[in-house]
Amino acid sequence: MGIIAWIVLGLASGLFANLLIPGKRTQGLIITCLIGIAGALLGGWLAVRLFHVHTLNGFFNLSTWLTAIAGAAILLLAFHLLTRRSSTGRARQRRTGWAHR
């Protein structure tokens, strides 16, 4: 697959993965799409390295899409967990008055 196909696959898989992850969205559309592109690349790389499965047979192959969506979902979930922890810490600091100014 070419680079344009990777970008389109990553954009679409990021949007699909965003629908699968429950909870409030803290990131915008651009961040979601960038995480989707990175997730598609990560999913394809992990499939080859861990399972020795070459899922990147073509753009319209189901295994390619499932791998890309799974990779994007993992990265989006990690992003949500990291941003939720940092935002709750800031809210706690503001509430107790311990924020450094």
Q: Is residue 14 included in any domain, yes or no?
A: yes
Dist CA 36 CA 17 (whole Å): 8
Residue range 71-93, pLDDT digits in tens: 889 998 888 888 877 665 555 55
User: In terms of residue numbers, what domain contains 82?
Assistant: 3-96
Q: How many domains does the chain have?
A: 1
Q: Is residue 101 included in any domain, yes or no?
A: no
Q: Is 41 exposed, middle or buried (0-12, 13-18, 19+ CB in 10 A)?
A: middle
Q: What is the pLDDT of residue 91?
A: 52
Residue 47 pLDDT greater than 70, yes or no:
yes
0.85 exceeded by the pTM?
no
Mean pLDDT score of the chain, rounded to an integer? 77
